[in-house]
Amino acid sequence: MKPFTRTIIDLFDGKRRYLIPLYQRQYAWKVTPQLELLWQDIAREAGQLETGGGAIAPHFMGAIVIAQVKTFGKQVQAFEVIDGQQRLTTFQLLMVALRDVAAKYSPEYAAESAKHLINDGVMEDAAIERFKLWPSLADRRAFTHVVDPTATVPGLDVIDADGDGVVRPATAAHAFFAERIEAHICPGGVYDPFKLEKLFEALKTGLAVVSIELEGGDDPQTIFETLNSRGVDLTAGDLMRNFIFQRATGLGMVAGDLAIDNLYRGYWLPLDAWFWREGDTRGRLTRSRLDWLLSDHLAMMKAELISVETLFESYRRWIIDGKPFGGDVEAELRAIAASATVFRRLTGHDRNDVLGRFGRFSRAFDVSTATPLVLYLGTTIEDPAELGAALGYIESFIVRRDICGLTTAGYNKIFTDLIAKLRAVERSALLTTLRDGLAAGTLDTARWPDDAEFGDAWRSRTQYKPARQARLRHLFEQLEERKRTNVSEIIEIKTDLTLEHIMPQKWRAHWPIAGFGHEDEAAPSAEYLSRQAARESKVHTLGNLTLLTHALNASVSNGAFSVKMPAIRAQSALVLNRELHDHSEWDENAITIRGAALFKVAALLWQAPPVPVTGSARI
């Protein structure tokens, strides 16, 4: 295989043909996003040329793989397109649009463009070989009609009759480029020949692809299958890695090694470890950890919402348009590596690390939307105590809102907006700004509940649902840990803890309401129904939940008070359960008392927002 850098014009210069095999998919690029992104690249390069700038090297737009086909006699030199047919087809449609628009304003550029669309001179079959690109059957009629509306191509009368009224992608692409080109060279409706000149120059020198041309010993079919079937699709992380290191070429050598190799070993090699390639799910999307890291990193750097589905293009535009690192690729890699260190600590879930502890919390509460903000804090604050305080504000904000039943829908924007606020203040004001920023919301989508609201929800609101077990278990683990600290216990329980109702969900069989018997269920009185409703409202509150070091047998779990309570009290390793010795019976009143006691600990663990200063602005 031989790689060549070829500009758009170079690809179609001279007498040649590109043949797209029948087994490849039809042309599929759409206006959004592919054609719009390509046009942005073209317009940018043309604009740089207009201002006298221009690129030091052509702007790289991907790769194509082609294999030369043996030709004989008068046949035009031909290449089979192994990979890259979408790009080649699009470039041809771009040249057609340039030709058609130029024909109205500058015939010489129309003629120059036509040279890169149509072969001339001696050919074996001019009706077919005159086209520099020969698409697959599905696209052939629409494509050839755009290139030459007057052409008579053998065989097209039996394929793709266009009788269904559908606008073919080739036709749509041509119309899109024609409109954009005319608007570009006619600003304000007045033709500017200089703009047309520089637009053509951009195609001639400023935009290029790598053309990988196979040699005699290479098997085109095997390579095609490797690229499109057996190989793994490139992830956003793969694309970003290539994009970054392509811009780091030409750095020379350091101590006998290429400088670019040293950059790779120093910053990206750890990100090629298997850990980063394992899948992780957020919501309905599953991506590699590396893709999530890079998405969170970009959201942190830009203080904006970033979709992992458009990660690479978002990153590429940010680097090209914003030049945040001034062309310093090592600084760019250093920033990614710093975020990776924080991200790895988050996912490590180490109880002895403030970031690991927050990672455990984040996983339990499914709040990955906070990760960009945590990356910023983790890469900015070195002192563990200060970082722990900052993360405590975020955790308190989330926990209190969760217990109060407030929505998580706006978290991604709340947290990314906070990053921008933190960047705007002095380092010494960071913690205060974070705390006050979280406390600034007054709407249900953004407020940080105070002790009154938090306490009422903690004591009275139904909290238990099967889908909430992970977060409730985490809350009780934190309560247990805080209680141990208060009594100077440092014992670590390594057994998995399970969440359990003290009064069982199926309480009717063995937990009668005081003063009533089972016969009251058959003909319930108004008072009985009232007491029953009161009990039902308490069963799923936090005062009735605890942790066990092992799951109780199902019969014990739903058993009578005299059977179940001794079994729970036997879990004396837990302070939470040791306290149950104080209760000789367990009813709604006992649940209320325990809920209030637990809240006193919770209010210390998940602190209240600061009291707003009178007259201060809140959102």
pLDDT higher than 90, residue 365: yes
| Mean pLDDT, residues 598-609 | 96
The pLDDT, as a whole number, for residue 151 is 82
363 and 282, same structural domain?
yes
User: Which amino acid belongs to residue 332?
Assistant: E
Could you tell me if residue 138 is inside a domain? Answer: yes
pLDDT digits (tens, 9 = 90+) for 442-477: 999 999 999 999 999 999 999 999 899 999 999 999
Same domain, 123 and 267: no
pLDDT classification of 613: cutoffs 50, 70, 90: low
What is the model's pLDDT at position 249? Answer: 52
Does one domain contain both 513 and 539?
Answer: yes
Residue 256 has pLDDT above 50, yes or no: no
d(CA 375, CA 419): 10
**Residue 256 forms part of a structural domain:** no
CA gap 15, 84 in Å, rounded = 20
pLDDT tens-digit readout, 283-315: 888 999 999 999 999 999 999 999 999 999 999
Q: Is residue 47 part of a domain?
A: yes
Q: Which domain holds residue 601?
A: 466-605
Report the alpha-carbon distance of residue 415 to residue 347 in Å, rounded: 19
pLDDT tens per residue, range 498-551:
888 888 888 877 787 877 766 666 667 888 888 888 888 899 999 999 988 777
Q: Per-residue pLDDT tens for 538-585? A: 999 999 999 887 777 666 777 777 788 887 777 667 888 888 887 888
* Alpha-carbon span 173 to 396, nearest angstrom: 52
Under a CB-based contact definition with an 8 Å cutoff, are residues 332 and 374 in contact? no
Q: CA–CA separation, 117 vs 422, rounded Å?
A: 55
| pLDDT for the residue numbered 488 | 52
Among 46, 54, 57, 53, which Cα is nearest to 5's? 57
Residues 6 or more apart in contact with residue 132 via CB below 8 angstroms: 12, 16, 17, 18, 92, 116, 117, 118, 119
Torsion, CA 227, CA 233, CA 238, CA 243, rounded to 10 = 60
Counting every residue written for the chain, the total comes to: 619
Q: Is 613 inside any structural domain?
A: no
| Predicted local confidence at residue 511, as pLDDT | 81
Per-residue pLDDT tens for 171-193? 999 999 999 999 999 999 999 99
545: closest CA among 492, 591, 578, 514? 591
Least trusted range by pLDDT, from 93-97, 351-355, 579-583: 579-583
SS3 215: coil
For the segment 240-245, the average pLDDT, to the nearest whole number, is: 79
d(CA 421, CA 427) in angstroms, rounded, equals: 12
CB contact at 8 A, 304 and 416: yes
With a cut of 80, say whether residue 262 has pLDDT above it. no
pLDDT value, residue 261: 61
Give yes or no for a contact between 448 and 437, defined as CB atoms under 8 angstroms apart: no
CB crowding 179-201: b at 16 or more within 10 Å, else e: ebbbebbbeeeeeeeebbbbbbb
pLDDT at 231 over 50: no
Q: Quote the CA–CA distance of 593 and 591 in Å, as a whole number.
A: 5
Query: Roughly what angle, to the nearest 10 degrees, separates helices 107-114 and 193-201?
Result: 20
Query: Does residue 154 carry a pLDDT above 80?
Result: no
Percentage helix, strand, coil, to 5, in the chain?
A: 55, 10, 35
The residue with tokens 């014990």 is 556
Q: Which residue has the tokens 């074996």?
A: 124
Q: Number of helices and strands (H, E) in the chain?
A: 28, 12
Residue 409: count other Cβ atoms within 10 Å of its Cβ. Answer: 10
Tell whether 193 and 273 lie within a shared domain: no
Report which residue type is found at 571: Q
Are 317 and 189 part of one and the same domain?
A: no
Q: Token digits for 111?
A: 């003629």
Say whether both 489 and 453 belong to one domain: no
Tokens matching residue 592: 């209320």
Percent of the chain with pLDDT over 70: 85
Rounded mean pLDDT, 578-602: 89
Q: At what angle do helices 169-185 and 193-201 cross, to 10 degrees?
A: 130
Q: What is the CA radius of gyration of the chain?
A: 34
For range 485-505, the mean pLDDT: 71
Q: Are residues 269 and 338 in the same domain?
A: yes
**How high is the pLDDT of residue 486?**
62
Position 189 in a domain: yes
Which one of 174, 209, 231 terminates a domain? 231
For residues 133-160, average pLDDT: 77
Burial of 115 (0-12, 13-18, 19+ CB in 10 A): middle
Q: Average per-residue pLDDT in the chain?
A: 85
CA distance 18 to 134: 6
In a domain, 341, yes or no: yes
In whole angstroms, give the CA distance from residue 534 to residue 612: 36
166 and 227 fall within a common domain: yes
Asked if residue 358 and residue 451 are part of one domain, the reply reads yes
| 199 and 322 together in one domain | no
CB distance 437 to 513 below 8 Å? no
Q: Is it the case that residue 221 has pLDDT exceeding 60?
A: no
268 pLDDT higher than 70: yes
Q: What is the model's pLDDT at position 435?
A: 96
Out of 212, 231, 250, a domain closes at 231
Q: Identify the pLDDT of residue 380.
A: 97
Q: Does any domain span residue 242?
A: no
Say if residues 538 and 588 touch (Cβ distance below 8 Å): yes
> Do 505 and 395 sit in the same domain of this protein?
no
Per DSSP, what are the bridge partners of residue 582?
Answer: none
Residue entry with tokens 């085109």: 220
Specify the number of domains making up the chain: 3
Most confident of 126-130, 319-323, 358-362, 559-563: 358-362
Of residues 372 and 158, the one with the higher pLDDT is: 372
State how beta strands 133-134 and 17-19 pair: parallel
The predicted pLDDT at position 258 comes to 43
- The string of pLDDT tens digits covering residues 374-398 is 999 999 999 999 999 999 999 999 9
173-177, 277-281, 411-415: segment of lowest average pLDDT: 277-281
Q: Is residue 619 part of a domain?
A: no
Looking at residue 290, what is its pLDDT? 94
Last residue within a domain, chosen from 402, 433, 457: 457
Q: Do 267 and 151 belong together in one domain?
A: no
Helices 451-460 + 588-605 axis angle, to 10: 140
Quick one: pLDDT at residue 521?
67
- Cβ atoms of 546 and 568 closer than 8 Å: yes
